[in-house]
Amino acid sequence: MSNQVEHKQQAPLLDLKQVTKRVKNATTGEEEHTILQGLDLHIKLGESVAIVGASGSGKSTLLGIMAGLDQASKGEVWLNGKPMHTLDEDERAAVRADGVGFVFQNFQLLPALTAVENVSLPLEMSGQHSLKQCRILATEWLNKVGLGHRLTHSPTQLSGGEQQRVAIARAFACQPKVLFADEPTGNLDRNTGKYIIDLLFELNQQNNTSLVLVTHDEHLAQRCQRTIHIDDGKIIADSLLAQANASAQGANP
């Protein structure tokens, strides 16, 4: 069975249909600039996908729309069966709280909280666990990322790599169905970045979480099962579809 057929037979975790994003001209307030142009994209559960493209190509905007942090101007966005394009901000936040994790380039840790408190907070906000259970889960995940000895340290007491490991623990502690990562190694040195990516992919595979990764690093993109190339707001290449088409042509010369 080809990758393309297998992909279509599985209901997508994330489904974009003719997604367009336009913004008003900052100078005139009237003319519109088109960032994304009629994108169709389907991502299944457990799939790792890299979104690559030059600066200004629209990849971070696409990530924000897929994650429900932003809204498309036109089109449909279905995330875990929920129509994000019809929901208001509070409703989208509820969807994000139930099955969506984030890892950002600048870590996004709360400076006044310790490592274990940063990981525990989203668990507490979900209302699914007692405070004691939240702290136990947060501690377990910090141990998994090798920070069991840094539980009570604040972000300012941690290195960049350690802060990103806290962010990864926080993302996975809520057992997300999909994890969105925006340039997760952008603020890290090469060796630390490699460690973080190894950890991210290891946890992704162990937990069967879909991973959607925005990066300008082609070597990092090659570690994903699939690579989406964005240019001028359009998908110009999809490695999964390209592989599937090549297989189909080989089977039907």
**98: which 2 tokens?**
């139930």
3-state SS class at 21: strand
Give the C-alpha separation, 172 to 165, whole Å: 11
* Other residues' Cβ atoms within 10 Å of the Cβ of residue 4: 17
Average pLDDT over the chain, rounded to an integer: 86
Evaluate whether 209 touches 178 at the Cβ level (below 8 Å): yes
Mean predicted confidence (pLDDT) in 87-112 = 89
Lowest mean pLDDT: which of 4-8, 20-24, 83-87, 109-113? Answer: 4-8
Evaluate whether 144 touches 171 at the Cβ level (below 8 Å): no
**pLDDT, tens digit, for every residue of 42-93?**
999 889 999 998 888 899 899 999 999 999 999 999 998 899 999 999 999 8
Give the C-alpha separation, 217 to 220, whole Å: 5
CATH number of 45-70+90-248: 3.40.50.300
**33: which 2 tokens?**
């600039």
* Other residues' Cβ atoms within 10 Å of the Cβ of residue 18: 12
Evaluate whether 197 touches 178 at the Cβ level (below 8 Å): no
**85: which 2 tokens?**
């394009």
For helices 89-97 and 115-126, the axis angle rounded to 10 degrees is: 110
Q: H-helix or E-strand containing 104?
A: strand 100-104
**59: which 2 tokens?**
């990849």
User: What pLDDT was estimated at residue 1?
Assistant: 42
pLDDT at residue 112 greater than cutoff 50: yes
Residue spans of the domains in the chain: they are 45-70+90-248
pLDDT at residue 3 greater than cutoff 70: no
